[in-house]
Structure 1
């Protein structure tokens, strides 16, 4: 888009096909995300971008110093604009608008450049910060393709879930038949990408645990690193941002709903559209393509307060009223307090005996060495090499640029739609116009 014409702002608005298929004017009559904070755990967010002015909170930089309101890479700003962009110019008719233009963005910078590694301990700390600073939705537009989330990340997500926060993450951009973590973790809304024809993007990961699909192909978004401050991309990062925005819309309109009930509403209002014969959850489309307007207007019972997607077990003592897995295991084995005490005493006694025997052996070894026994191999010193420390576990590196392998900026050729607007094709018993 660097070669966009001079009327770039209008051009940008015209490229936002998502605004049309989601009928945003009707949607915004129901909710615009007022009063909801969405945390964007990413490369920072440019608070000075004209489409985000006034929307970006102070946030925090977790990369060792710096300003979370600065974005060297541009990815975080793009995600924030899809969530809460409000456009600019007369009537805000130019630039990018997000689905929840009145939500606030909490920028949490966990990487600065495309070469940085987005470590679990770093983004995990950012997730906890988001929870403690009022975020009701957390957007994780990245994936650890082929790797597993370490304890820092898992427990941070568990902490968020225990504190009534909706966590949304991208399924991955490498075409795997498995959903990448952290999206694959229990309770996380795992998001895949579809194009303007409501067909799954070829590189969007599939598999068990996929929750929702959202637009993620030919997406224009704010980007301070490009001229004129906009870029074009494909990926589940963008789709994740749209689902986070949909969650913010629901949380704004239904503030009494728990995070689990918000997720339930998003799932129940989703649709497979023209894809007939699929059964939810489907390995390629999850529970369907997100429909924000329907999520706001359909008559959906609250349902249970818990997360319908499950939850990560929290073992952090910081969680109020949480029970550690170790305690639960003790309960299931039927140990009584007295039994545990008896067992403890027995273990202490056994350790004492072992210590005495060890002392005698060491003393004997020393005497034997002094008497020349070491020369005939009875207790050679080489039999007791210095203890080797286990090397730290090697973590799978994160992609150099989260969920943005196709984050180039040339204008994509126009696609011929298979249907005038497939997003209006609904199965029976659902809103026929959204």
Structure 2
């Protein structure tokens, strides 16, 4: 069964099962689109009038992407296989194809009315295969090579729907992420599916947009990891995606992999509409436009919801200052930055300025030292002549030290894994989706952000 899952670098770990579309024998066009509740929740008809992701390439580092999938034809670039086993446009397991469909599916048939549609249907997908089968490992030295390749091929967003399952990212992985960030690429990664109060790496690394999962009511999915370093939440429960292993071609499943793909697609939409923004400024728009929706009592960053729930339409339409080039999440230091550094913030060549300052201050220091030495010699002569007694004290500067501040831990989760919040009684902004009763409002209705900022 083709489920969409979060992977482990020590082995592929299946955490959720797919719910095949068994209630519809032929999976008609209307039926498939009706399962895509996210399209209504995100108000995508209005969003696509602004941009559909034209001109942006999203790299999917995964199990490959099936280039023959009807909803993805023409969208999948050649890519590269890093497993030594064939083509990146072959996907024998289906996870990468599922992620690509959430991002860039365009439907098929007359008027593209059949099949599913992704959040950014005009984005190009760069498939980078780093594992082939469910139980394959996805080691850091392999996916890091794929990340570097994505940067060199001009990808503006990199989707990493996998995690280290509690492990730490190797130096190769960290350097690859730093390379992407230094070259103006938005990197998005899954927070993890174990329900732990800890964001998995590489998602937890500085500058990466780490993503957790929420359901149709905008409540955190019980399996979604939480804790320090969580950036955004996005739909990850009963999400429809292409499934090459299903006879119907699609399946529904839960997981932060899916949520990650939605955020990657939203980042691509922002990059398409605002091509002058840096990667950090794109991330800034995603964060500043996010909202806690019904969870108004929360303040950002919250351990379970990060900076809030993704809102692609607001990320494109809100009046948000660009902010610093590196964005609110910062960056990992690149090799160049770590070697040269910047001695003075805000200067183009801090080391030069520091050298100039050092040179300009040497002369008076030398004069002072020379003066002190002269006084000492003269004083010694006087004392010798007068044979006076004096007390000498050996003193010196003490060595400074200090204890770094301790980190703040998080309390354990409740027995249910997440807290239920009261639902909003009104639908503020989104039209009621077809077949949805007014008694069941759209919990993703566009509301002002509640980030405590």
Q: Same fold (TM over 0.5)?
A: yes
Q: 2:51 aligned to 31, 38, 45, which one?
A: 31
Partner of 1:422: 443
Aligned counterpart for 1:289 among listed residues 302, 309, 332: 309
Cα deviation digits, residues 208-266 of structure 1 (max 9, x gap): 01000000000110011211111211000000000000000000000000000000000
Give per-residue Cα distances to partners, 1:268-322, cap 9 Å, x unaligned: 000000001111011000010010000000011111111310111222xxxxx53
Give the equivalent residue in structure 2 for 1:322.
Answer: 337
Q: Distance in 2 between matches of 1:44 and 1:30?
A: 30
Q: 2:166 — aligned with what?
A: 146
Summarize deviations over 1:147-205 as a string: whole Å, max 9, x none. Answer: 10001111100000000000000000000101000000000000000000000000000
Secondary structure class of the residue paired with 1:423: coil
Other structure's SS at 1:41 match? strand
Is the contact between residue 196 and residue 417 of structure 1 (CA under 8 Å) also seen in structure 2? no
1:10-52 deviation digits (Å, cap 9, x = unpaired): 3211100001111111000111000000000000000000000
Equivalence map 1:327-338=2 (5 Å):
none
The alignment status of 1:134 with 2:149, answered yes or no, reads no
Q: CA, structure 1 residues 74+418, in 2 after alignment: closer, same or farther (shift >3 Å)? A: farther
Q: Does 1:52 align with 2:72?
A: yes
Give the corresponding residue for 2:188: 168
Q: Select 1:310's aligned residue among 307, 323, 330.
A: 330
Contact 2:291 2:450 (C-alpha < 8 Å) held by counterparts = no
Q: Which residue of 1 aligns with 2:418?
A: none
Q: TM-score, normalised on structure 2? A: 0.73
Aligned 8 A contact 2:293 2:450 in 1: no
**What is the Cα deviation at residue 429 of structure 1?**
9.2
Query: 1:113 aligned to 111, 117, 133, which one?
Result: 133
2:111 matched to 1:91?
Answer: yes
Task: Give unmatched runs, 5+ long, in structure 1.
Answer: 316-320, 336-413
Which residue of structure 2 lines up, in the alignment, with residue 65 of structure 1? 85
Give the superposed CA RMSD: 2.3
Residues 106-154 of structure 1: CA distance to partner in whole angstroms, max 9, x if unpaired? 0000000001000000000000000000100000000112110001111
Counterpart-to-counterpart distance in 1, 2:266 and 2:306: 16
Structure 1 residues 352-376: Cα deviation after superposition (integer angstroms, max 9, x where no partner): xxxxxxxxxxxxxxxxxxxxxxxxx
Matched, 1:188 2:208: yes
Q: 1:114 to 1:297 in 2, by over 3 A?
A: same
Distance 1:418 1:142 in 2: 37
8 Å contact from structure 2 (residues 267, 286) kept in 1: yes
Q: 1:219 aligns with which of 239, 259, 268?
A: 239
Whether the 8 Å contact between 1:44 and 1:68 is mirrored in structure 2 is: yes
Determine helix, strand or coil for the equivalent of 2:308.
coil
The verdict on how the C-alpha distance between 1:254 and 1:232 changes in structure 2, with shifts beyond 3 A counting, is: same
Q: 1 CA distance for matches of 2:160 and 2:49?
A: 28
Task: Report the TM-score when normalising by structure 1.
Answer: 0.76
- 8 Å Cα contact 2:233-2:305 kept in structure 1: yes
8 Å contact kept, 2:27–2:248:
no
| Separation in 2, partners of 1:11, 1:236 | 24
1:103 paired with 2:118, answer no
Q: Is the contact between residue 292 and residue 450 of structure 2 (CA under 8 Å) also seen in structure 1?
A: no
Map Cα deviations across residues 77-127 of structure 1 (whole Å, 9 max, x no partner).
Answer: 000000000011122112111100000000000000001000000000000
1:425 Cα offset (Å): 5.5
SS at match of 1:47: coil
Distance 1:117 1:416, change over 3 A: farther
C-alpha separation in 2, matches of 1:140 and 1:263 = 16
1:21 to 16, 19, 41: 41
Contact 1:313-1:325 within 8 A present in 2 as well: no
C-alpha contact 2:59 2:128 (8 A) present in aligned 1: yes
- Contact kept in structure 2, 1:171 and 1:179, CA below 8 Å: yes
- Count of matched residue pairs: 343
Rate the CA distance shift 1:153–1:423 in 2: closer, same or farther, 3 A: same
- How far apart in 1 are the matches of 2:216 and 2:55? 30
- Give yes or no for the alignment of 1:250 onto 2:250: no
